[in-house]
């Protein structure tokens, strides 16, 4: 549940769970199960547990769950927040950038067109895009996560691709326009996933924080109850093709 590469095997002993996602989200799962057991023992029955997959990649689990709600009034979204209630989290805007070139022997590069060279130029221009800030969520950020292309070191590359993600803090319209301007006429920029930033309500007596990661809250779009949140641009959610911490807020 909720892990990022690289994979390595997990194990547990009498006190700890060791492995990818032990805090996020397996520690959260353990805490929620323990809380449910205590509530059931006390006679409370109006609760349920929901575990989903695909967060930040495509939110496939949350989208599937949103299509089959169970009538819940509230949703507690578990994330690694150092035992603080998150007042907001950033959104995610993912692109696949593709460039086609022309094969040639590298001894005669003038006979070809390197897709890799062109991709590097496009990515450099994308890195220069001014990114917005938000008073609560802070600075929007960009990560170029993967680059792939070429056939061999002595062959001019005919194809190059990259995957990148913006961590958004508000309306991404200008970022989208800037990406299209940076790639126009040189590369294909395919938007593969977008989920908006969220701002959440306070609860008296609980310490708070703000997190930079993306959650599945917008993907539920209120179908599993109100998560004490105001979801920015919920109506613009697009449906396409995290890190660990010591403690969790459940």
| Cβ-proximal residues to 28 (8 Å cutoff; 6+ apart), any chain | 78, 79, 80, 248, 250
Q: Give, in order, the Cα–Cα distances in Å from 175 to each of 36, 132, 182, 194.
A: 42, 8, 10, 12
55 is known as an active-site residue: yes
Question: For the stretch 204-214, what's the b/e string if a residue is b when 16 or more beta carbons lie within 10 angstroms of its beta carbon?
Answer: eeeeeebbbbb
| Catalytic residue selected from 15, 55, 56, 121 | 55
Element (H, E) at 35: helix 28-41
Element (H, E) at 29: helix 28-41
Residues taking part in catalysis: 55
């Amino acid at each position: 549940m909720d892990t990022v590469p690289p994979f390595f095997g997990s194990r547990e002993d009498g006190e700890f769970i060791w492995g990818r996602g032990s805090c996020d989200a397996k520690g959260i799962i353990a805490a929620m199960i323990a809380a449910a057991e205590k509530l059931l023992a006390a006679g409370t029955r109006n609760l349920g547990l929901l575990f989903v997959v695909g967060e930040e990649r495509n939110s496939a689990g949350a989208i599937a769950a949103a299509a089959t709600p169970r009538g819940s009034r509230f949703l507690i979204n578990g994330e690694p927040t150092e035992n603080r209630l998150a007042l907001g989290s950033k959104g995610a805007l993912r692109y696949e950038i593709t460039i086609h070139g022309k094969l040639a022997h590298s001894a005669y590069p003038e006979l070809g067109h390197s897709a890799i060279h062109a991709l590097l130029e496009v990515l450099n221009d994308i890195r220069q895009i001014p990114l917005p800030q938000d008073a609560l969520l802070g600075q929007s950020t960009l990560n170029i996560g993967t680059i792939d292309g070429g056939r061999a070191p002595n062959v001019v590359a005919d194809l190059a691709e990259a995957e990148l993600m913006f961590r958004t803090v508000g309306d991404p319209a200008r970022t989208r326009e800037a990406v299209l301007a940076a790639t126009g006429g040189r590369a294909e920029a395919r938007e593969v996933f977008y989920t908006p930033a969220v701002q959440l309500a306070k609860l008296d007596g609980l310490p708070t924080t703000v997190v930079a990661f993306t959650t599945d809250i917008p993907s539920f779009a209120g179908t599993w109850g109100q998560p004490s949140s105001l979801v920015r641009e919920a109506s613009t959610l697009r449906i396409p093709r995290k890190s660990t911490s010591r403690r969790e807020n459940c």
